[in-house]
């Protein structure tokens, strides 16, 4: 939902900070006060085209920011991540700066964004119904998605798309093989030879480290044996060996300890050294006994290393990567083997196409049943909204071949009045009729609508009395599921709202400025009385206004 809207130097607004609530909110005020300016400002943030005329006179730029709660609809957060525009958790901050020169810049969560990205993000967050162009209900794709969601067919639609993609992949594999059969055959022949050679090498990753260690030991065996013998001589077997001298010192100190017990401290240090030297001699002897000069084994290891090096150079990989090269070759051979029979590929393609068609036909049947129910309910809702005799239909344009969306295009048709031929919803001329029709559709599909914020402009055009009261009740009902805002001149609609904002204009320093006030209970009575009674407001009018608010269940 929309959390806040900040406007700077836009048309007749100098500075405005608005905090929004859930439920149903109405914007009221005298004609020309600037009620639609708030909707226009929001449309700018949502990617509407703009020029320098929207910058307030004397200002350098208009700056508009809107913060949305992005934690509800999962597709919003997913879209932000996919486009590298994610910000704080569960929040989406959209901003538009329009220079007095006409140049504009867009931002999402502080990152530069194109107008197309602003519009795409906005379609997840807000629907503006009325004379403005930013409304998803006019888009064929949105109509199809709404029909599927209303009928509980979204999963079936996703299954059709998945099977369609599987068919296309099979088709592309078959075409690729037919186009590149010779190249595939040559690649398969080369891979078979490579795999045979690598399999014959029988090289395992651990072998490389073991061979390198063994080679180093064999190549330097003479030096290692000599070093071990030298150590033994120096520590134990030489004329002045370290161990003999240490033993003599320990023996001498032991013989004198009775005269000075303080020598025990030095003995405690020397005796462990004696044990360590003895252990070292033992280990050096064992090490020397294991070492032997083995020219034959050295040649074997060198030949094995040379074979591995040669293979690594040939395939241009490090020696330790040769096993991975073998696995990759086997995998690719398997792929080429599966794709080596064009008839088998055709059969797989035909099976995938048949599965896609079967799922699409099932979806088509369900869509037609859903379309009848939706048409009936929306037509019924239209009768109560000053569109007597009008009707709503869902038209299907059957396609010659299955697509990712099924076997048909979906289009909403509407006849606003009796005797009129149904025409595409997007071509309905009257802003008021389009807005009320949108209200009828949203009222029927409120349980499945995906966009969290709905804004209605001109919803009261050409209606009044009983119809106005019905419109108010429908908007209030929508407000139980969505955040709903409506610009209205009708007191019946205003009285139904959960909260009411009054838009006024004033003159300061020769400039017209717009201001928004959030009304409390008493102020709402006064504003609705103005809407009822015009210039002169009487006590009777105020009582009528208070009674309207009370009967509608409005908040105090």
d(CA 247, CA 277): 11
Predicted model pTM: 0.58
φ, ψ at 319 (rounded to 5°): -50, -40
Residue with tokens 């599909």: 445
pLDDT band of residue 375 (cuts 50, 70, 90) is very high
d(CA 377, CA 442): 11
The DSSP annotation for 460-473 comes to TTT--HHHHHHHHH
- Highest averaged pLDDT of the listed ranges 147-156, 234-243, 262-271, 283-292: 147-156
Of 153-157, 214-218, 467-471, 501-505, minimum mean pLDDT range: 214-218
d(CA 163, CA 482): 34
pLDDT band of residue 222 (cuts 50, 70, 90) is low
Tokens of 443: 């009222």
> Which residues, in sequence order, are bridge partners of residue 394?
412
Q: For 250-266, what is each residue's pLDDT tens digit?
A: 888 888 888 888 888 88
pLDDT value of position 113: 92
**484: exposed, middle or buried (C-beta count within 10 Å: 0-12, 13-18, 19+)?**
buried
φ, ψ at 536 (rounded to 5°): -100, 120
Q: What percent of the chain has pLDDT over 70?
A: 88
> Which residues, in sequence order, are bridge partners of residue 126?
453
pLDDT band of residue 225 (cuts 50, 70, 90) is low
Average per-residue pLDDT for the chain: 83
Nearest to 81 by CA among 92, 69, 72, 65: 92
Q: For 518-530, what is each residue's pLDDT tens digit?
A: 899 899 999 999 8
Q: Which residue has the higher pLDDT, 222 or 351?
A: 351
> Which residues, in sequence order, are bridge partners of residue 128?
455
Tokens of 116: 């197309």
Report the run of H or E that residue 124 belongs to, with start and end.
Answer: helix 115-125
d(CA 143, CA 463): 26
* Residues 51, 55, 59: CA angle, nearest 5 degrees: 140
d(CA 32, CA 42): 18
Report the run of H or E that residue 530 belongs to, with start and end.
Answer: helix 521-533
Reply yes or no on whether the pLDDT at 295 is more than 80: no
- Highest averaged pLDDT of the listed ranges 25-34, 139-148, 251-260, 357-366: 357-366
> How many residues can be counted in the chain?
556
d(CA 471, CA 384): 8
Reply yes or no on whether the pLDDT at 356 is more than 90: yes
d(CA 87, CA 84): 9
Contacts of 415 (CB under 8 A, 6+ apart): 390, 391, 393, 421, 422, 423
Q: Where exactly are the structural domains of the chain? A: 2-159+356-518, 202-337
pLDDT value of position 133: 45
pLDDT value of position 166: 95
Q: For 196-221, what is each residue's pLDDT tens digit?
A: 888 888 887 777 777 777 667 666 66
φ, ψ at 63 (rounded to 5°): -130, 120
> Which residues, in sequence order, are bridge partners of residue 293?
none
* 199 to 161, 175, 184, 249, 318: CA distances (angstroms): 42, 32, 22, 64, 17
Contacts of 217 (CB under 8 A, 6+ apart): 224, 291
- Residue 130 DSSP symbol: S
pLDDT value of position 63: 94
Strand order in the sheet with 61-69: 13-19, 2-10, 61-69, 91-99, 104-108, 111-113
Tokens of 121: 């993000």
d(CA 235, CA 397): 98
pLDDT value of position 134: 47
Q: Which residues of 369-379 are buried (b: 16+ CB within 10 A; e: fewer)?
A: ebbeebbebbb
* 304 to 32, 313, 451: CA distances (angstroms): 92, 14, 68
Reply yes or no on whether the pLDDT at 534 is more than 80: no
pLDDT value of position 73: 57
Tokens of 176: 């690729």
Q: For 30-74, what is each residue's pLDDT tens digit?
A: 776 677 888 889 989 998 888 888 998 888 999 999 999 876 656
Region 501-527: what's the mean pLDDT? 84
Query: 2-159+356-518: which CATH architecture?
Result: 3-Layer(aba) Sandwich (3.40)
Of 176-180, 247-251, 335-339, minimum mean pLDDT range: 335-339
Reply yes or no on whether the pLDDT at 432 is more than 70: no
d(CA 503, CA 131): 20
pLDDT value of position 224: 67
Region 474-498: what's the mean pLDDT? 89
How close are the terminal C-alpha atoms of the chain, in Å?
Answer: 23
- Residue 241 DSSP symbol: -
Give the torsion through C-alpha atoms of 544, 546, 549, 553, to 10 deg: -120
pLDDT value of position 372: 93
Classified as helix, coil or strand, 305 is helix
Q: For 312-345, what is each residue's pLDDT tens digit?
A: 888 888 888 888 888 888 888 777 765 456 788 8
Q: Do 426 and 414 meet the contact criterion of CB atoms below 8 Å apart? A: no
Nearest to 136 by CA among 151, 150, 120, 148: 120
């Amino acid at each position: 939902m929309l959390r806040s809207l900040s406007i700077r130097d836009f048309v007749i607004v100098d500075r405005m900070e608005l905090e929004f609530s859930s439920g149903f909110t109405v914007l009221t005020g005298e004609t020309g006060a600037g009620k639609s300016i708030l909707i226009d400002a929001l449309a700018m943030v949502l990617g509407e085209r703009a020029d320098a005329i929207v910058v307030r006179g004397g200002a350098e730029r208009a700056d508009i920011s809107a913060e949305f709660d992005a934690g509800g609809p999962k597709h919003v957060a997913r879209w932000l991540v996919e486009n590298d525009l994610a910000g704080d958790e569960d929040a989406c901050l959209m901003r538009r700066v329009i220079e007095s020169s006409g140049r504009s810049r867009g931002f999402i969560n502080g990152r530069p964004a194109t107008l197309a990205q602003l519009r795409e993000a906005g379609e997840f967050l807000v629907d503006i119904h009325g004379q403005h162009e930013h409304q998803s209900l006019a888009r064929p794709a949105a109509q199809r998605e709404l029909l599927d969601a209303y009928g509980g067919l979204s999963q079936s639609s996703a299954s059709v798309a998945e099977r369609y993609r599987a068919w296309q992949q099979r088709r592309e594999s078959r075409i690729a093989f037919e186009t590149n059969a010779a190249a595939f055959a040559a690649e398969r022949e080369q891979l078979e030879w490579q795999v045979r050679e690598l399999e014959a090498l029988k090289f395992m990753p651990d072998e490389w480290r073991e061979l390198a260690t063994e080679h180093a030991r064999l190549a330097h065996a003479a030096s290692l044996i000599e070093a071990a013998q030298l150590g033994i001589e120096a520590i134990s077997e030489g004329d002045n060996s370290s161990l003999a001298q240490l033993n003599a010192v320990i023996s001498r100190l032991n013989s004198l300890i009775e005269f000075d017990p303080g020598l025990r401290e030095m003995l405690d240090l020397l005796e462990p050294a004696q044990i360590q030297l003895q252990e070292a001699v033992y280990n050096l002897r064992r090490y020397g006994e294991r070492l032997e000069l083995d020219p034959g084994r050295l040649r074997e290891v060198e030949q094995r290393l040379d074979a591995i090096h040669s293979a690594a150079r040939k395939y241009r990989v490090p020696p330790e990567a040769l096993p991975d090269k073998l696995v990759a070759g086997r995998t690719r051979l398997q792929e080429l083997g599966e794709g080596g029979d064009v008839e088998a590929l055709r059969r797989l393609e035909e099976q995938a196409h048949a599965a896609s068609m079967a799922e699409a036909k099932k979806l088509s049947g369900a869509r037609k049943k859903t379309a009848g129910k939706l048409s009936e309910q929306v037509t019924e809702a239209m009768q109560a909204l000053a569109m007597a005799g009008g009707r709503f239909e869902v038209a299907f344009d059957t396609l010659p071949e299955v697509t990712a969306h099924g076997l048909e295009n979906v289009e909403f048709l509407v006849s606003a009045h009796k005797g009129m031929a149904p025409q595409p919803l997007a071509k309905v001329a009257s802003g008021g009729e389009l807005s009320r029709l949108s209200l009828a559709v949203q009222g029927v599909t409120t349980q499945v609508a995906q966009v969290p914020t709905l804004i209605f402009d001109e919803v009261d055009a050409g209606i009044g009395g009983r119809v106005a009261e019905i419109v108010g009740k429908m908007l209030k009902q929508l407000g139980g599921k969505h955040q709903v805002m409506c610009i209205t001149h009708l007191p019946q609609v205003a009285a139904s709202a959960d909260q009411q904002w009054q838009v006024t204009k004033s003159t300061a320093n020769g400039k017209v400025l717009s201001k928004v006030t959030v009304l409390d209970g008493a102020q709402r009575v006064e504003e609705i009385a103005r809407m009822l009674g015009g210039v002169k407001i009487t006590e009777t009018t105020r009582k009528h206004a208070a009674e309207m608010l009370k009967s509608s269940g409005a908040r105090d």
